[in-house]
Amino acid sequence: MATEVEFPRYRSFKIILIGNAGVGKTSLIQRYSEGYFHDSSLHKVLKHDFVEKDVLIDRSLYRFVVWDTAGQEKYKSVTRSLYHNVDGVIFVYDVTNTSSYVDLKSWLGEIRDYLEPLPNTCIFLANKCDRDVSEQLVTFSQLKNDPDFSEFMYKYETSALTGDNVGVVFDTLQREIVKKRGGDIDRKYQEIANKHEYTPPSCAC
């Protein structure tokens, strides 16, 4: 009979979502962390400015802390404090709002002032892809073909309402962060883990 092994949490990584007000940052985080969409008309917000989730990647357990900048967009001096020790960035724009797309360039410029982002730890989202084509003023195709973002390899259409690609986005970013930052895993525990069967907890999905 296999012995159950409690995997140690190796490291905690920080992810932030950046973009104009109303692009759906809070809804994306809630869809990711709780698996459902909340109606913004109810004015419901996250209980905290961040959510934490333990994720099993290649038989190693990591904690990801996802920070929401909603409500701070107008006060960038406040938002800047969130850039400390950031491991991954998700840039979000609303496909029905042209200015939210135009402002991606300024958000990217600000990130570069404070961080040294790598193409594989920054992801760009064309959010609200559930909206009718006639309402989409800046399509995902425009994002993919924009030379200003050509160095970044990961771009997705997403919808917090339907859940389209939300899980894919976080899984991709988390794996890239671990690949970049996770080289200090304790080999002793990894060797122990490899000798036993282990069923990951449901929170690690």
Q: Which domains does the chain have, with CATH numbers?
A: 9-35+43-204 (3.40.50.300)
Radius of gyration of the chain (CA): 18
Give the residues of the chain that fall short of pLDDT 70: 1-10, 38-48, 70-79, 182-205
Residue 34 has a pLDDT of 83
pLDDT at 112: 87
CA angle 147, 153, 154 (to 5 degrees): 110
Closest CA to 127 of 117, 138, 116, 119: 138
Do 168 and 156 touch, CB atoms closer than 8 A?
A: yes
How high is the pLDDT of residue 110? 86
* H or E element at residue 31: helix 25-34
Q: What is the pLDDT of residue 35?
A: 77
Task: Say if strands 50-57 and 122-127 run parallel, antiparallel, or are unpaired.
Answer: unpaired
Among 107, 167, 82, 101, which residue's Cα sits nearest to residue 139?
A: 101
State CA 181 to chain mean position distance.
Answer: 16
Query: Which pLDDT value is given to residue 153?
Result: 93
What confidence score (pLDDT) does residue 60 get? 87
What percentage of residues in the chain have a pLDDT greater than 70? 73
**pLDDT score, position 9:** 56
38: exposed, middle or buried (C-beta count within 10 Å: 0-12, 13-18, 19+)?
middle
What's residue 40's pLDDT?
54
Closest CA to 72 of 2, 20, 8: 20
Q: What is the pTM of this model?
A: 0.80
β-strand pairing of 9-18 with 60-68:
parallel
Q: Note the pLDDT of residue 189.
A: 47
Cα separation, 136 vs 140, whole angstroms: 9
Residue 196 has which token pair?
């036993």
pLDDT at 66: 95
pLDDT digits (tens, 9 = 90+) for 91-125: 999 999 999 999 999 999 988 888 877 788 999 99
Share of the chain above pLDDT 90, in %: 56
pLDDT value, residue 188: 44
- Maximum C-alpha span of the chain: 59
Q: In the prediction, which pLDDT does 91 show?
A: 96
